[in-house]
């Protein structure tokens, strides 16, 4: 890890504060970088025009008793990694060969998007309970590194 990794992982933490997720421990941020330049950013939150859980005053997943790392589709939010990838597509920017910095380890759905978008490296801070995503990222040829000192 170098000074650039430190800068971009810290930026992912700042972007996480923009999250509209109701749960304070699920504020996630992502930054996609190519050639030491920020390409796009993303944070977890409801799609444009949809009321977020923060604005609703409750977490749908908590209300239904859904454990973390399962049934990702039952949530108003789009994951930070997904938002960053979608933003690149919307702007017509290639992220092939890029690095994704994220506050949390990607879930399986995000891992599939990361592989297909051409991202070649993921640097994350905190683990996430989704072991299958590691299989997807490994088989997809994506280098995954946990930022030092963040083991949980």
Does residue 78 sit in helix, strand or coil?
A: strand
Q: Is 102 annotated as a binding residue?
A: no
Residue 1 Cα to chain centre, angstroms: 19
The reply to whether 73 belongs to the active site is no
**What is the DSSP track for 111-152?**
HHHHHHHT--EEEEEE--S-THHHHHHHHTT-EEEEPTT---
Pull the structure tokens for residue 30: 């992502």
Does residue 64 sit in helix, strand or coil?
A: helix
**What is the DSSP track for 19-37?**
---SSGGG--EEEEEETTE
User: Which one is catalytic: 81, 139, 145, 152?
Assistant: 81
Q: Which residues are annotated as a binding site for Zn(2+)?
A: 79, 107, 110
What positions carry a catalytic annotation? 81
């Amino acid at each position: 890890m170098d000074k650039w990794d430190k800068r971009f992982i810290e930026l992912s933490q700042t972007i996480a504060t923009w999250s509209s997720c109701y749960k304070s421990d699920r504020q996630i941020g992502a930054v996609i970088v190519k050639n030491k330049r920020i390409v796009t950013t993303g944070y977890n939150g409801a799609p444009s025009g949809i009321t977020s859980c923060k604005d609703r005053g409750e977490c749908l997943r908590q209300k239904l008793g859904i454990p973390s790392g399962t049934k990702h589709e039952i949530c108003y939010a789009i994951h930070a990694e997904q938002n960053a990838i979608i933003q690149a597509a919307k702007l017509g920017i290639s992220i092939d060969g890029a690095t994704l910095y994220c506050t949390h380890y990607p879930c399986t759905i995000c891992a599939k998007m990361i592989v297909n978008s051409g991202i070649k490296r993921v640097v994350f801070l905190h683990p996430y309970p989704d072991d299958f995503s590691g299989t997807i990222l490994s088989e997809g040829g994506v280098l995954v590194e946990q930022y030092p000192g963040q083991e949980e």
